[in-house]
């Protein structure tokens, strides 16, 4: 017979507050066209992107995260000292160790919480949200701060016609806490490692260290392969998340997919047969693809502009490099 005392956590977990930070510099397509042979019309038709935000030297991964976290904590109505864990999803913190989560935890005044980074690309927010839910239900933390943050302008090849226009910078954060009713559904997540080469860093850090190529490592992707995978496979995952939560498309109020590409978003809406009354996040038009930050940033904007409201039922899904994905149904804070 086990002598281990059972964990005593909450019955359920919910998103209590959300915050976002977008760098002050807005970069229109005209700036992108200075280094690639393309046109504003082509970029908009291929991606739906008109502008994106690029961080300044002072707008570091940590600085943007602190700003977004402060807003999320205030929105949740708690104090930083109550945060029991900080989870940061990012691929653009360039130190292998220590995790940027520890620095952020210290700067927001969170005391001594558990703090760690995860690397799950554009699905990272969903992974972090699922881990946070588990911590709260298990009882190892009462409140968990989940951050998605990227400075993808540092990893963008400004001369690559296929990707130069895609990526933006920013941070989004949520506070996850206890709930008396289900407010974060079961997560449908997974990976398809046989497709890991479709989105990747051009040069591994060890190769860069050894050979010092002329160009700094950047993100590259096989656009058509990624597009087909996202359109055809991720709609299936989204439907599985709806089924797992016992939600029909007509029961949804909001759809917040990863902001990768407007064509992908529109195709998913069509495949899922979402009713016209469902609000769809299309933050990609003015924010670009911010990877792990895109879902919380889009969520924050929908709530701030009144397009979505507290208590709405939302389907969120992230997908990207790996290839990895994570989808769940949540109640908005």
**CA separation for the pair 112, 292 (Å, rounded):** 24
Same domain, 207 and 168: no
Question: Can 258 be counted among the known catalytic residues?
Answer: yes
Same domain, 201 and 175: no
Domain count, the chain: 2
Q: Which domain holds residue 203?
A: 185-332
**CA separation for the pair 87, 89 (Å, rounded):** 7
Among residues 29, 53, 261, 289, which one is catalytic? 289
Among residues 29, 53, 258, 261, which one is catalytic? 258
For the domain that residue 124 is a member of, what is the CATH number? 3.40.47.10
For residues 150 and 170, the answer to whether their CB atoms sit within 8 Å is yes
Residue 1 belongs to a domain: no
Work out the average pLDDT over 235-259. 96
Residue 201 belongs to a domain: yes
Same domain, 175 and 231: no
Same domain, 206 and 311: yes
Question: Can 261 be counted among the known catalytic residues?
Answer: no
Instruction: Please report which confidence band the pLDDT of residue 323 belongs to, taking 50, 70 and 90 as the band edges.
Output: confident
pLDDT surpassing 90 at residue 206: no
pLDDT in tens, 69-87: 999 999 999 999 999 999 9
Same domain, 175 and 217: no
For residues 258 and 131, the answer to whether their CB atoms sit within 8 Å is no
Same domain, 173 and 199: no
Work out the average pLDDT over 204-222. 75
User: Quick count: other Cβ atoms within 10 Å of Cβ 27?
Assistant: 17
Residue 61 belongs to a domain: yes
Question: Can 289 be counted among the known catalytic residues?
Answer: yes
Work out the average pLDDT over 50-66. 98
User: Percent of the chain having pLDDT more than 70?
Assistant: 99
User: Quick count: other Cβ atoms within 10 Å of Cβ 115?
Assistant: 21
Q: Pick 212 or 227 by higher pLDDT.
A: 227
Same domain, 228 and 134: no
Same domain, 168 and 198: no
Among residues 29, 93, 122, 261, which one is catalytic? 122
Tokens found for residue 58: 């002072």
pLDDT in tens, 133-190: 999 999 999 999 999 999 999 999 999 999 999 999 999 999 999 999 999 999 999 9
Residue 6 belongs to a domain: no
Last residue within a domain, chosen from 182, 210, 229: 182
pLDDT surpassing 90 at residue 295: yes
């Amino acid at each position: 017979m086990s002598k281990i005392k059972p964990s005593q956590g909450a019955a359920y977990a919910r998103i209590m507050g959300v915050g976002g930070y977008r760098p002050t510099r807005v970069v229109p397509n005209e700036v992108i066209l200075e280094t690639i042979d393309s046109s504003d019309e082509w970029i908009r038709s291929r991606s739906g992107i008109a502008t994106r935000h690029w961080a300044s030297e002072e707008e570091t991964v940590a600085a943007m995260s602190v700003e977004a976290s402060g807003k999320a904590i205030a929105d949740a109505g708690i104090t930083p000292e109550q945060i029991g864990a900080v989870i940061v999803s990012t691929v653009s913190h360039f130190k292998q160790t220590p995790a940027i989560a520890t620095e952020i935890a210290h700067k927001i005044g969170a005391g001594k919480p558990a703090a760690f980074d995860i690397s799950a690309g554009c699905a990272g927010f969903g992974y972090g949200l699922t881990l946070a839910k588990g911590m709260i239900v298990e009882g190892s933390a009462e409140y968990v701060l989940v951050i998605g943050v990227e400075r993808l302008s540092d990893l963008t090849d400004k001369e690559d016609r296929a990707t130069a226009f895609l990526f933006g910078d920013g941070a989004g954060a949520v506070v996850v806490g206890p709930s008396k009713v289900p407010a974060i559904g079961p997560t449908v997540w997974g990976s398809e490692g046989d497709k890991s080469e479709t989105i990747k860093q051009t040069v591994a850090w060890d190769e860069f260290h050894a050979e010092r190529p002329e160009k700094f490592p950047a993100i590259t992707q096989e656009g058509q392969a990624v597009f087909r995978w996202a359109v055809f496979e991720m709609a299936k995952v989204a439907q599985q998340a709806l089924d797992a939560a016992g939600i029909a498309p007509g029961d949804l109020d909001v759809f917040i997919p990863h902001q990768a590409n407007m064509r992908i978003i529109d195709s998913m809406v069509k495949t899922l047969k979402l009713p016209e009354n469902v609000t769809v996040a299309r933050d990609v038009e003015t924010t670009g693809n911010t990877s792990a930050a895109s879902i919380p940033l889009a969520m924050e904007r929908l709530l701030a502009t009144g397009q979505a409201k507290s208590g709405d039922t939302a389907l969120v899904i992230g997908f990207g490099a790996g290839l990895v994905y994570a989808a769940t149904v949540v109640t908005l804070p």
